[in-house]
Amino acid sequence: MLKKIYVSELIATWKKFQQMNLLFPFYSSHQQARDHYFAAVKNGKGYRISTGTSELWFVKNEMVEGWQITNLLCLPNSNWQQGIQSLEKAARQQFKQQLALTFEATPILEHWLLSKGYSFTEGQWQKKLIYHTGLVLGGGGARGAYQIGVWQALLEKNIQFELIAGTSVGGLNGALIAQGDYPQAVALWEEIETDKVLEVTFNEVEEIDFSAQVQQLRTFLRTSMKQRGVSSRPLKHLLSEHLVPQKIKTGVPFYIVTTKISAFQEVVISLNHSPASEIIDWLLASAAFFPVMAMAKIGTDYYVDGGYRNNLPVDVALNHQKLTELVIVDVHGPGFDKRYHLPEAVAEIKLASSWSLGDLFLFQQSRSAKNRLLGYLETKKTLGDLQGVRYSFENQADFAVLTKAFIRYSQKQVTLDLEELVPKLQKFFHQSFPIELMSQFFLEFFAYWTRVSPLKSYTLAEFIQIVLRQFELPEPIVAADYSVQEQIEGFIESNNVFSVYRHIVQLAQQPSAFARTYRRWPVQTLLALFINYLQEEV
């Protein structure tokens, strides 16, 4: 896993850092390399790759074509093979086109680098990275629009797939991707509604509010029980309008997973080797989530959703193609996720949102558009084009500067022991992060509680203003934008008088008591201090 390193993290691991040695001769001594790395971390150019038992600490410059590596440190007894493989995998995870290493090699090292595909050009060892990319799309019903947003971000990088494997809605999206027609994929998801997917009739309503969604779910479940599964004839018609089976048949290798009822057995179907007339039928078989949806009949056999046996078919992709990286998109569908073993040389790019993607069976155009945008933004973050945890920020956003200013402000009101504070912050947020990013986590905390939308890439100044506005006068929730479960959870959270957020709001209204409350509730008091700091200073 690639991670940017901050000064506080380097100091916290100083003893270990002092054991790090040069992997390649970037400098004349290990100590000189460590000094350079420390200086690079101060300038925001120090990174670390952790791969279980090994670590690689390096300095990189972002070039038009890829990364220029100017320093490379590792633990004692690490070897060239493992180090260069880890570096290349990290570059592949962001689809960089080239690696350049700025050192002069000994004859032995020169021979080894040449054998690994590097050439000495313009004073550095360079390698063009060749890609053989696979795509795995999991099941998840109406949440599947997220996968089309992922595809949009990958298309912007001109990323092509040599294999696609999908289950259920992942199979349907895989078919859209296999035929290489992004506009058709968007058109399908813009058109999609539950009654255009399944043979169920809803009463006309002027506005899709909470009660209307509950009524639709009741109607849906009542129909499925009455009919022993709702027919997917409307979905077959919709797919016929947007898919060209012959394009899928002659496209990249494409596999879908379904479950054969007679033995409850996983069946993997190569759509490239299926008759064009059967392709849509097999896609429907993969997505037949019985008993909610009717079984699919092909020939004399009945099939149900592939998620019952293999909801995220990574193993299918690995079994059928030699790949250098695998993009895996999990939209949290019900079913069984198989364990898989990823070959050492294969880079994994896994996308799974921490946000709820809505109900499984209620297809809504507005929610599909939001999920598609969320998939796009979260892929951009994964590829390094944006930053953030739950929210997305331009890479120019400098949270370290904001954190430093806030710490100076806080120290005038409470006695901060940062060494003691960091573990408490990490426990509160259930995540490890450097003190330099404290302001980012605080901002995202308030944004989440005040329902700031994650469907945008923000500048830091813009995000602060939105958080302050929402904190002071929250905009009302639009029921149609949230699923039934999300609305229930939101109601419970917003009406819970004992919630952490309400406690922080109360603390923020008593600034004169900060010195006293900090001793009892250090993190909550600091969050209250932070909102006051934004109101007064920013």
Annotated catalytic sites, by residue? 168, 305
* DSSP output for 6-48: -HHHHHHTHHHHTT-EESS-SSSSHHHHHHHHHHHHHTT-EEE
Contact 129, 66 (CB under 8 A): yes
Beta bridge pairs of residue 329: 137, 351
**528 CB contacts (<8 Å, ≥6 apart)?**
504, 505, 507, 508, 511, 514, 517
3-state secondary structure of 296: strand
Give me the amino acid identity at 312: L
User: The dihedral of CA 421, 422, 425, 426: what is its sign?
Assistant: negative
In this structure, the number of other CB atoms found within 10 A of the CB of residue 312 comes to 29
Q: Residue 379: which of 356, 361, 353, 407 has the closest Cα? A: 353
Q: Among candidates 247, 299, 300, 243, which has minimal Cα distance to 272?
A: 247
CA–CA dist 209, 113 (Å, integer): 63
Residues 360, 266, 178: CA angle, nearest 5 degrees? 65
User: Comparing C-alpha atoms, which of 149, 197, 200 is closest to residue 173?
Assistant: 149
